[in-house]
Structure 1
Amino acid sequence: MSAEQWTLVTDDAGLRRASDLIASGEGPFGVDTERASGFTYSNRAYLVQVFRRGSGTFLFDPVGITDFTPLAAALTGEEWVLHSADQDLPSLAEIGLAPERLFDTELGSRLLGLDRVGLGSVTAELLGIELAKAHSASDWSTRPLPEPWLEYAALDVALLPDLRDAVAERLRDAGKSEFAAQEFEAVRVRLPKPKAAEPWRKLTGGNRMKSPRQLAMTRELWTARDELAQQRDVAPGRLIPDASIVAAVTANPRSAGELASLKTFKGRASRSELERWWRAILRGKTTEDLPGPKQREPGTIPSHRGWAQRHPEAAERLTELRAVVTAEAERQHMPPENLISPALVRELAWAPPSDPSPEGIANRLAELGARPWQLALVAPILSVVFVE
């Protein structure tokens, strides 16, 4: 794709002109974003790409644009086509862009049972076009954006409507169009997950911290890192990685100098912000607010990894339910997790419904968020596990 085939939009006036052109096109909108995951703290979009037949390809730079309202108005009346939409929709919503209808080519490919569902793989299989992914993991917060990156971003989005048509045709042939429509709508209206009450407990390797004092030090170091990461808009792990927090807590240093001497305490800010980390450790060493073991969130079930020892009957039910789901997924030529969420299967295994009939199973799964097409396929076969 040459430079003449796409337009970079960097300000509000340019966005208004581009929006008028997009509105005059025809058919669905190909939409994509580029973020700086792993580089920045935020998950904001650093580039928004839109393609429409008859309009062309437009690359919007949110850094210089203050009002996306004209673009939101232009992107109405037709389907949005995204690949792995759940990755892009949150950052688009932050700038006021949300689809009225959605087609997710990645999710559609999963329902078709394609072996590989990345954009490059699906485009190669269905369109016969090879996409270079050289810049997919680049730091898109970089300014100015290099032209090869923009070329890459433009080509990705320009192929989405054609890819949508190819996936839709295969879905029709497989009798899965309605399955896909329900799944796309579920993604479109899905609410963001609530923030964890104690996010520091998700620290990689944090499960090695057992004593209340170790947990307090972990919490204080994680919080200090998170605050600095927010201030600088830098991914926390680029300041000090999780492994450094675990190493510092495990070593239990007696001074800032001892902390600095730890070879396992690494990261770009491990020494430049040494006093910050030492103060956090001191808070953890002296606080009276000592965390206890991680508590299960109200309304949640225990981790299934411990069921075999603690809840053998639930573990046995889970094994049987999984076997049934796997067999049906093979018949439907799709991954088991797309046939029915593993979390819902675990819920059934943990707390069997009082009515084990297909209708009872369907009602329970519907309460948990399963779609009608899933209920029709799995409720009858899951019911057998409970009535045998």
Structure 2
Amino acid sequence: MANALNSKTDSRETDNDESERAPLLREPREGLPEITADADSLAGVVAALRAGSGPVAVDAERASGYRYGQRAYLVQLRREGSGSALIDPIACPDLSEIDSAMDEAEVVLHAAHQDLPCLTEVNLRPSRLFDTELAGRLLGYQRVGLGFMVERLLNLRLAKEHSAVDWSQRPLPEDWLRYAALDVEILIELRDSLESELEETGKLEWAREEFDSVLAAPPKEPRPDPWRRTSGIHKVRNQRSLAAVRELWYERDRIAQERDTSPGRVLPDAAIVEAATAMPRTTPELTKIRQFGIKLARRYLNTWIKAINRTRDMAQADLPRPNAPGDGPPPVNRWADRAPDAARRLDTVRSTVTRIAEEVVMPTENLLLPDSVRRLAWAPPETVDPDSVGEFLRSRGARNWQVGLTAEALTDALREAEKA
């Protein structure tokens, strides 16, 4: 949960008047547990978990913005009858015994898609899941950060400091550990409150399908051209400059990995884009770009200039194309001119999805993925009926509850668009 850009920490911000009403949660109820950092203490946590009952609240702290990758630097657990535990996964990198102790217990996470990859790295692999953030989305909450939901449903306030600190630091300060312990302190109570609301609104089975889908999702495949996500790359206008972005990005990534530091701390995206646009030939020219003067970037000036100069002699065939190839439809803003029938279908299909989402009170993207909606409008099944539309949606990952809510209405929308 230590990513300042993710929803867990972003939406902990609460209005001042709300903060005044809700009491601040300051201390774990059994006191701050000792950090688990050796085999003996880990065995004690395993025994405590086996003696407990019910769901297991789990959280992980990473060092986003400080270290390379998304590994866990602290794992927090809590279970009824077991108390809370804080585990150092650097000192205890294999938590398979913890996984075994949880057996078939439901694991409660907030924004599970963020924490599951790093938990898998330490051999924590839940077989059952309750995702409190996802539950909030299905219930139509406009804000689904942990702090906001705890305050709304439990009338407690979580402190928001330490959300973006360097959790790879050792030793971890006591106030950081207290902050981490409190994040699982009330997670099970939050889960129970959300489950009741899901059941009251008829959405509990939908949520269970969603949770199962999160657990069953395969690991994300590496992006074929990750450098294309460089912030500000849209400012780069020609292929040779794009090649410079690519070369600088891969050099930066190599250095960041070797040093185990965040790529942005080696060289900011803005510096890559500016250098690729200016195409300097010498290190003195390169240092005129202000951000190449930061400590780490300055240490590798020769590396950067060699990367840029490599692109000058590249054959045209080796230069990257301005737009990454893809298997989906073209950008929507081109549809009206290039494919007016598809544009008309998209308008009708989108309005149908929006209407259904409003009826069931949830964001449209949780009802159906926007990409699925675009693809359906661009290339609908040859025979349009509820079965074929449902099969199309399932092929794009839609769950049964989503198909049940939308297939028939989308069939009508596609047929209506063809008549227009």
Shorter-normalised TM-score: what interval? over 0.9
Contact 1:25-1:55 at 8 Å conserved across structures: yes
SS in 2 for 1:32: strand
Q: TM-score, normalised to structure 1's length?
A: 0.96
Equivalent position to 2:325, from 275, 291, 296? 296
Identity of aligned residues (%): 46
Contact 1:241-1:267 at 8 Å conserved across structures: no
**Cα deviation, residue 5, structure 1:** 4.2
**Cα deviation, residue 382, structure 1:** 0.8
- CA shift in 2, pair 1:308/1:146, >3 Å: farther
For the pair 1:323 / 2:351, whether they are aligned, the reply is: yes
**Cα deviation, residue 43, structure 1:** 0.3
Residue in structure 2 matched with residue 38 of structure 1 by the alignment: 65
- CA shift in 2, pair 1:264/1:231, >3 Å: closer
**Cα deviation, residue 118, structure 1:** 0.4
Any stretches of 5+ residues in structure 2 without a counterpart?
Answer: 1-26
SS in 2 for 1:269: helix
Query: Structure 1 counterpart of 2:299, which letter?
Result: S
Matched residues in 2 for 1:287 and 1:11: separation?
A: 53
- Using the TM superposition, name which of 278-287 and 89-98 deviates more: 278-287
Contact 1:12-1:66 at 8 Å conserved across structures: no
Equivalent position to 2:178, from 142, 151, 176? 151
Matched residues in 1 for 2:367 and 2:168: separation?
A: 37
- Using the TM superposition, name which of 140-149 and 283-292 deviates more: 283-292
For the pair 1:215 / 2:242, whether they are aligned, the reply is: yes
SS in 2 for 1:27: strand
Matched residues in 1 for 2:76 and 2:197: separation?
A: 26
Equivalent position to 2:380, from 338, 352, 361? 352
Matched residues in 1 for 2:201 and 2:214: separation?
A: 21
Matched residues in 2 for 1:66 and 1:87: separation?
A: 19
Residue in structure 1 matched with residue 394 of structure 2 by the alignment: 366
Residue in structure 1 matched with residue 16 of structure 2 by the alignment: none
- Using the TM superposition, name which of 306-315 and 63-72 deviates more: 306-315
Contact 2:76-2:85 at 8 Å conserved across structures: yes
Contact 2:281-2:305 at 8 Å conserved across structures: no
Contact 2:47-2:101 at 8 Å conserved across structures: yes
Contact 1:224-1:280 at 8 Å conserved across structures: yes
**Cα deviation, residue 87, structure 1:** 0.5
- The within-5 A match list for 1:196-215 is 196-215=223-242
- CA shift in 2, pair 1:66/1:270, >3 Å: closer
Q: TM-score, normalised to structure 2's length?
A: 0.89
Query: Structure 1 counterpart of 2:325, which letter?
Result: R
Contact 2:55-2:106 at 8 Å conserved across structures: yes
For the pair 1:132 / 2:150, whether they are aligned, the reply is: no
Contact 2:287-2:293 at 8 Å conserved across structures: no
Any stretches of 5+ residues in structure 1 without a counterpart?
Answer: none
SS in 2 for 1:6: coil
SS in 1 for 2:299: coil
**Cα deviation, residue 132, structure 1:** 0.9
Query: Structure 2 counterpart of 1:120, which letter?
Result: G
- Using the TM superposition, name which of 164-173 and 211-220 deviates more: 211-220
Contact 1:110-1:335 at 8 Å conserved across structures: yes
**Cα deviation, residue 273, structure 1:** 1.7
Equivalent position to 1:272, from 285, 296, 299? 299
For the pair 1:378 / 2:406, whether they are aligned, the reply is: yes
Output the aligned Cα RMSD: 1.5
Residue in structure 1 matched with residue 24 of structure 2 by the alignment: none
Query: Structure 2 counterpart of 1:49, which letter?
Result: Q
Deviation sequence 1:297-317 (CA, Å, 0-9, x none):
3x3332324323333322221
- Using the TM superposition, name which of 144-153 and 358-367 deviates more: 358-367
**Cα deviation, residue 266, structure 1:** 5.3
Matched residues in 2 for 1:291 and 1:182: separation?
A: 41
SS in 1 for 2:290: coil
**Cα deviation, residue 264, structure 1:** 5.4
Deviation sequence 1:124-161 (CA, Å, 0-9, x none):
11111111111111111111111111101101112111
Deviation sequence 1:235-291 (CA, Å, 0-9, x none):
111111111011111111121111112235454422222112112112222333322
Matched residues in 2 for 1:189 and 1:207: separation?
A: 35
Deviation sequence 1:11-47 (CA, Å, 0-9, x none):
2221121111111101000000001112111100011
Contact 1:321-1:349 at 8 Å conserved across structures: yes
